[in-house]
Amino acid sequence: MLRILAALILSLGFAALAQAQDLQPVLQDHADEIAKPSRSSVSTALDALIASGLPQVTPFLEAWTDKGIWQRDADGMFFYGNAKGSDLTLRNIDTGAETTVSTVGHTELRPNGGVRRVIGTALVQFQLADPDITRRLSAIDSIARRPDADQLIPLLGSIDTEPDPTLKARKIQLANFLSASFAEDVADRIAAIDSLARDTSIEARAVLNQILSVSSQVTADEPTGGIARILSVGRDLTEAEAYERLVAANLAPPTIPPVAIRDALAANVIEGRVGGIPTAQLGTDATRAQAYAALAASGSVLPFVTPQDQSTAIANHTFYEAYDQDDTAITDAARAALSSVETRVAASRFADLALDGLSLASIYFLAAIGLAITFGVMGVINMAHGEFIMMGAYTGYVVQQFVPDYTLSIIIALPLAFAVTFGAGVAMERLVIRHLYHRPLETLLATFGISIALQQLAKNIFGTQARPLTSPGWLDGAWVLSDVIQISYIRIAIFVLALLFLGLILYILKRTRLGLEVRAVTQNPGMAASMGIDPDRINMMTFGLGSGIAGIAGVAIGLYAKVTSEMGADYIVQSFMTVVVGGVGNVWGTLAGASLIGFLQKGIEWLNPSNTLAAQTYMVLFIILFIQFRPKGIVAQKGRAAAD
């Protein structure tokens, strides 16, 4: 294989000169090795093919590997071939001219698996400098799947001439992997290993773990060499496992199972006695062991190993794991690099978990901000709030049926969803809620009934199947910071939308007349009425505003989650928890509550990833305990809410 590498390096300088030459004469010079190859003989043919530097070599090696080469029996000429029944389409290796003949008189080359692997290695090395970038990418992928020491030299030689920056970076990374595993010079291996200390990819960790692979050892003397760790019997190994290792290493005799003892006793019965003990007395394990020990003492059977013998043998030996890599400098460097990588991975996972928690908090904030306004100002427990979210999502779906441009449809859907749900909220407040003020139980039951009715209405109109609310193409994919940290663009968009809503709500409440009147009614409705503010109108507008915001949240959530008639039910509980935990009627409290619940849920899911339902249950229990100690929430309301 070293001859192949040398020939490859020499061939790169003569590739341009070889453009006008034919490959067929080279094949004919080595026809026997090509027609009937073996792992030992195929290298001769590969040497000649690679040394020729001809551009036809790469497709020939590819076809040879895929059993796509045929030989004409009459003159031994080689062709690309494709057989269909008795017809065979032959294509000239040099000119590409095609002819159709009978399969009779032609032989398909079928190299075995070992030969194909040798050809594949040569092909990968040849493809590294191919002008076609797709072939270079294929070669890199092949090296990544099956790294080999023979690939290191040609890979290093192809880095400086690589024109594509992304592919060049990938080649450098793979060269580090191969150097860490196969470089002949120890200093080169250690330098490559040290460079992997900053690489958090799975491939880098796999390379380091392979260098640090261990095998189980046992010795009666002091362990020597690259010791990974000493195994403790009772903690790392059971006594049975430890003795099995002694037996496997021929350091202790095997134990005799009860069946073997019984068979040995049965085979050595002489005049009604075994080992001097009458057969009638062999009804217990102790007497059978005594009889077997007597037979073993006479040499009739294998020695009997007592539990005491096993314990003594185990105590006289040391069990440990030794590195398969003999050089301790290499294993020390790999261990330090892997420790650094694991620290970086842990930090990256924490950052990724924080991003997930932030994303979930944004979703909960969007879902709850409308409820926070209506609940805080009016004290209305609106169980139909989730259905306003559902209405907004379905509004976005309907818009996309008429506007196929997904970006434009989302731009249209956001204000339209606000208008639809604002109108629905005002109608609900005028027809139902206004008659139930200060009657919380009846309000809860009425809005719960409305939520069921809205769900059924949605089923009648849109069916029970989930409907797609498609995001624009520029929201596809994810922002990848590393192999560990990534977040989808849709979640980023929801986070940005949540920030915009936070700013918009704060502006409305702090900078507009409506916000001034809302805050006045929130703090003291009686005093607000005496100042000329109509609390009834403010309640109507506030309920409509909260419902409209829920509709816009529905469009955003629909891009991320499924759009069904029950989707509102998935967020109503979290919305109420967000409002109550954060502080009723306070925007900053809602933000704090959404952050607490979002991060808490993701943290619990990380601790218990196999059971999401259990994670939600733990979260609810935590919220209940939290409210017991801080019933007014994280940011307590002032004015009327504080007085209540």
DSSP string for residues in 119-141: HHHHHHHHHTT-SSHHHHHHHHH
Residue type present at position 145? R
Q: In this structure, what token pair is assigned to residue 430?
A: 């005028």
**Cα distance between residue 562 and residue 22, in whole Å:** 60
Contact 392, 406 (CB under 8 A): no
Contact 517, 525 (CB under 8 A): no
- My answer on whether 274 and 183 are in the same domain is no
Q: Which domain holds residue 33?
A: 2-195
- My answer on whether 616 and 559 are in the same domain is yes
DSSP 477: S
User: In Å, how far are 49, 130, 141, 170, 445 from 134, measured between CA atoms?
Assistant: 21, 9, 10, 14, 65
Is 336 inside a domain boundary?
A: no
- Residue with tokens 């030459």, as numbered in its chain: 21
Across 254-258, 361-365, 434-438, 586-590, which has the greatest mean pLDDT?
Answer: 361-365
> What is the dihedral sign for C-alpha 267, 268, 273, 279?
negative
> What is the dihedral sign for C-alpha 108, 112, 113, 114?
negative
Is 371 inside a domain boundary?
A: yes
- My answer on whether 440 and 495 are in the same domain is yes
Alpha-carbon Rg of the chain, whole angstroms?
38
Is 208 inside a domain boundary?
A: no
Tell which residue, 48, 43, 10, 42, has the closest CA to residue 29: 48
- Residue with tokens 């731009």, as numbered in its chain: 411
Using the predicted structure, report yes or no on whether residue 394 has a pLDDT greater than 90: yes
Mean pLDDT of 399-425: 91
Mean pLDDT of 81-91: 87
Tell which residue, 250, 548, 267, has the closest CA to residue 425: 548
**Cα distance between residue 241 and residue 251, in whole Å:** 14
- Torsion angle (degrees, nearest 10) of CA 417, 419, 420, 425: 120
**Cα distance between residue 549 and residue 368, in whole Å:** 9
Cβ atoms within 10 Å of 558's Cβ, excluding its own: 28
Using the predicted structure, report yes or no on whether residue 245 has a pLDDT greater than 50: yes
When pLDDT is cut at 50, 70 and 90, the band that residue 422 belongs to is: very high
- My answer on whether 309 and 436 are in the same domain is no
Say what the pLDDT of residue 610 is. Answer: 63
Question: Which of these three, 141, 166, 195, is where a domain ends?
Answer: 195
Length of the chain: 644
When pLDDT is cut at 50, 70 and 90, the band that residue 154 belongs to is: confident
Is 227 inside a domain boundary?
A: yes
Nearby residues of 423 by Cβ (< 8 Å), 6 or more positions away: 544
Mean pLDDT of 438-456: 88
- My answer on whether 358 and 234 are in the same domain is no
> What is the dihedral sign for C-alpha 508, 510, 511, 513?
positive
Contact 140, 178 (CB under 8 A): no
Say what the pLDDT of residue 3 is. Answer: 45
- My answer on whether 360 and 316 are in the same domain is no
Chain segment 185-234, per-residue pLDDT in tens: 889 899 999 988 888 888 889 899 999 998 888 888 888 778 888 888 88
**Cα distance between residue 496 and residue 502, in whole Å:** 10
- My answer on whether 289 and 389 are in the same domain is no
Write the Ramachandran bin of 225: left for phi over 0, alpha for psi from -120 to 50, otherwise beta: left
Say what the pLDDT of residue 427 is. Answer: 92
Cβ atoms within 10 Å of 621's Cβ, excluding its own: 10
- My answer on whether 255 and 404 are in the same domain is no
| CATH number of the domain within which 553 lies | 1.10.3470
- Residue with tokens 């991320």, as numbered in its chain: 560
Say what the pLDDT of residue 637 is. Answer: 58
- Torsion angle (degrees, nearest 10) of CA 625, 629, 635, 641: 100
**Cα distance between residue 354 and residue 485, in whole Å:** 10
Say what the pLDDT of residue 49 is. Answer: 81
Say what the pLDDT of residue 457 is. Answer: 92
Say what the pLDDT of residue 609 is. Answer: 66
Say what the pLDDT of residue 398 is. Answer: 92
Is 332 inside a domain boundary?
A: no
Say what the pLDDT of residue 115 is. Answer: 82
Say what the pLDDT of residue 259 is. Answer: 80
Chain segment 286-297, per-residue pLDDT in tens: 788 788 778 877
Nearby residues of 464 by Cβ (< 8 Å), 6 or more positions away: 564, 565
- My answer on whether 244 and 294 are in the same domain is yes
Distance of CA 536 to the CA centre of its chain: 53
Say what the pLDDT of residue 584 is. Answer: 67
Nearby residues of 129 by Cβ (< 8 Å), 6 or more positions away: 12, 15, 136, 154, 157, 158, 161
Cβ atoms within 10 Å of 508's Cβ, excluding its own: 17
Using the predicted structure, report yes or no on whether residue 4 has a pLDDT greater than 60: no
- My answer on whether 154 and 237 are in the same domain is no
DSSP 237: B
Say what the pLDDT of residue 18 is. Answer: 40
The number of folded domains in the chain is 3
Mean pLDDT of the chain: 82
**Cα distance between residue 203 and residue 601, in whole Å:** 31
Say what the pLDDT of residue 581 is. Answer: 82
When pLDDT is cut at 50, 70 and 90, the band that residue 2 belongs to is: very low
Beta strands in 93-209 (DSSP E): 98-102, 106-108
**Cα distance between residue 51 and residue 41, in whole Å:** 16
Is 209 inside a domain boundary?
A: no
Question: What's the whole-model pTM score?
Answer: 0.67
Is 65 inside a domain boundary?
A: yes
Residue/partner pairs of 558-562 with CB below 8 Å, 24 or more apart: 558/392, 558/393, 558/396, 558/397, 558/469, 559/396, 559/410, 559/469, 559/470, 559/471, 559/475, 559/490, 559/493, 559/494, 560/363, 560/490, 560/491, 560/494, 562/466
- Residue with tokens 């901000």, as numbered in its chain: 369
- My answer on whether 174 and 267 are in the same domain is no
DSSP 334: H
Chain segment 93-117, per-residue pLDDT in tens: 888 888 888 888 888 888 888 888 7
Is 609 inside a domain boundary?
A: yes
- My answer on whether 377 and 246 are in the same domain is no
**Cα distance between residue 594 and residue 366, in whole Å:** 9
